[in-house]
Structure 1
């Protein structure tokens, strides 16, 4: 009886196998099919227009918008805004999407081509309205920018903050020369940039020197101390600290006999008489300025026409600004925590609206010499 039962099971299984082997099995679709539509209006954030646009609005036509699906890695589409600033995506699958913009745009009322960038996530579904707005921001003129500042110090128990660095970036299409430029830490300023507390200078002749080039798209790391900060003081390990032995430049004060000097890294030298400290910046709030070096008479501040870029940062959103809005209308680093290993970096390399609240984000881990993804 058992044998007959087992035989029946075997015959039934064979029949099922033959049935499915004769059926055609559809391959995975090579193209995505959907019925939904998404309409996006590319809206200009007027707070980011800066001094180059005088508060004017603009319709952004011909802007490429990239659409990606969260769930399908290969689902990527690009469409362009029309003369009214709208972009349309048809036949979309239900689900989550990311729409992004990142393009150079020739505004008529700007001094040069400016960077337009923005990103937004949204959900596509039958019950979700098809109309949405993607707000983009506009960067001012390209040039040499302070791209990242790492000042918070790594998580540690010895209050270590000597791994600080300032990163520069050439956001222009031409080679820029660092010869004779100055890097300053600024105190509270009442008029322009009238309160210099630290001033270090690159070697070479300001403006006309051609010894220290920075190519378009190149990052330059200025280390407080160009050493491996991951392991210091014997075998103590600093979690999330960084190795700066390959920094491009190192701040050195010859009047500070205890200052570290890596012989393999060129120096930015202190030029302030009587100043005996390294280029150390506050873990809470501070101002970093770079200028072309034509004015090094720091006693009366730095001439405005020589200033290249300024960034003010503050962990507190209620902090009173130390510099005028003409230099920087906001703060980078709001919410950053001391001894956290965090840094502040521009949302895109060289993106600058003269408002650091808009331009910068807080990174959990610093990225010397490259940009976050």
Structure 2
């Protein structure tokens, strides 16, 4: 059972009553403003908290993250079922949207698959202890560009396809719900097993302590649901998880190297899980995503899509007509689940530099 409570607060305490005794995940989400008037998401949670008579307080540490102009608009990870065989997963894609009122540049923005790869109730034990100020990445890619080469105007979005093909074709999977042949970017694995499609190739940045991809057949993320973030490294930062070991991490008694990404660098993060029963298996900090989202099935041709903001029954738009999407850094609230994936859903703008049309 889910309980929700909304209140404008000026102190550090919220009171609730009539809670049925049980084991709960308690999440707190909201917004706040600093002295400069800049808006921040405030999030925190307590997982597997026993609430019963005599338990009068639940202490939750809240952290803030600046409201981001770039957000994940849609993620399709579950794959689809082909006419013959069990599984087809090359049609995965991720869509990034400019949710602000100003032009944003994708150049130099990073895309990370976070670690642990799958939702788990047994979190890693890191050699040297867990750093609460970072998230951990398995693999990292980077948008190419010279700094102003790939602008997104307000209301425009860019799709990154695992494989930027028309997956509905007979030689792929006619049951696939998507045609990714017009995707803006592609995670090309740089091998001879798959053709290099017209989409712009993402640049590989990190895997197991190296910039090289390794033996990568395709960039397949979990069909059960992975965790992802986009981030930008501030000018002057020494962040380099390949050459700077202070940004590397490994688990106790394991050699595989993961990358540390400072939370302050993150623009947006989304945590996907197998199904609702894994709500207590969060693996990324609540300040990045206080909730979780899911499809609940694999190879079903369904994904998750961010909700459009509505106020008093009216869809919110910018002055130029661009849609404003809900972004509270809580994927449980922010995303529609189990939807048929659509590239550029709601006819969001296609960048002028997309040469596939």
TM above 0.5: yes
Q: Per chain length, whose mean CA-contact separation is higher, i.e. which structure has more relative contact order (CA < 8 Å, sep 6+)?
A: 2
Give the equivalent residue in structure 2 for 1:149: 75
List structure 1 runs of 4+ shifted beyond 6 angstroms: 52-57, 106-110
Residues 53-100 of structure 1, C-alpha deviations (whole Å, 9 max, x = no match): 98899xxxxxxxxxxxxxxxxxxxxxxxxxxxxxxxxxxxxxxxxxxx
Cα 1:286–1:170, aligned 2, differ >3 Å: closer, same or farther? Answer: same
Q: Which runs of 5+ in 2 are unaligned?
A: 15-30, 42-65, 117-123, 125-129, 207-211, 243-247, 249-258, 309-323, 349-357
Offset at residue 195 of structure 1 (A): 2.4
Q: Is the 8 A contact 2:77 2:225 kept in 1?
A: no
Which stretch shows the higher mean deviation, 217-226 or 284-293?
A: 284-293
Q: Report matched runs for 1:58-69 at 5 Å.
A: none
Offset at residue 271 of structure 1 (A): 2.1
Q: Is the 8 A contact 1:46 1:56 kept in 2?
A: no
- Please tell me whether residue 318 in structure 1 is matched to residue 257 in structure 2: no
Give the equivalent residue in structure 1 for 2:189: 253
Residues 195-247 of structure 1, C-alpha deviations (whole Å, 9 max, x = no match): 21111111135xxx1111000011111111110101243xx643242111111
- Please tell me whether residue 229 in structure 1 is matched to residue 167 in structure 2: yes
- Please tell me whether residue 170 in structure 1 is matched to residue 129 in structure 2: no
Size of the aligned set, in residue pairs, is 247
Q: Distance in 2 between matches of 1:53 and 1:175?
A: 34
Paired residue secondary structure (1:318):
helix
Q: Which runs of 5+ in 1 are unaligned?
A: 1-43, 58-105, 115-139
Aligned match for 1:350, one of 325, 334, 349: 325
Paired residue secondary structure (1:310):
strand
Cα 1:179–1:108, aligned 2, differ >3 Å: closer, same or farther? Answer: closer
Name the larger-Rg structure.
1
Offset at residue 281 of structure 1 (A): 1.1
Q: Is the 8 A contact 2:204 2:213 kept in 1?
A: no
Q: Is the 8 A contact 1:195 1:301 kept in 2?
A: yes
Paired residue secondary structure (2:346):
coil
Q: Distance in 2 between matches of 1:53 and 1:210?
A: 41
Q: Distance in 2 between matches of 1:176 and 1:55?
A: 35
Q: Is the 8 A contact 2:135 2:263 kept in 1?
A: no
Which stretch shows the higher mean deviation, 190-199 or 237-246?
A: 190-199
Q: Distance in 1 between matches of 2:205 and 2:150?
A: 19
Q: Is the 8 A contact 1:336 1:342 kept in 2?
A: no
Q: Distance in 2 between matches of 1:239 and 1:163?
A: 11
State TM-score, norm by structure 1.
0.59
Paired residue secondary structure (1:371):
helix
Q: Distance in 2 between matches of 1:337 and 1:246?
A: 27
Q: Is the 8 A contact 1:311 1:356 kept in 2?
A: yes
Cα 1:303–1:296, aligned 2, differ >3 Å: closer, same or farther? Answer: same
- Please tell me whether residue 184 in structure 1 is matched to residue 98 in structure 2: no
Q: Distance in 1 between matches of 2:11 and 2:106?
A: 30
Q: Is the 8 A contact 2:163 2:187 kept in 1?
A: yes
RMSD: 3.3
Q: Distance in 2 between matches of 1:246 and 1:193?
A: 34
Offset at residue 344 of structure 1 (A): 0.4
Q: Is the 8 A contact 2:91 2:176 kept in 1?
A: no
Normalized per residue, which structure has more helix?
1
Q: Report matched runs for 1:1-373 at 5 Å.
A: 46=6, 111-112=38-39, 141-156=67-82, 157-188=85-116, 190-191=130-131, 192-205=133-146, 209-233=147-171, 237-254=173-190, 256-262=191-197, 264-272=198-206, 273-277=212-216, 278-294=218-234, 295-297=239-241, 299=248, 300-319=259-278, 320-333=281-294, 335-348=295-308, 350-371=325-346
Q: Is the 8 A contact 1:155 1:341 kept in 2?
A: yes
Residues 333-363 of structure 1, C-alpha deviations (whole Å, 9 max, x = no match): 1x53111111101112531111111111114
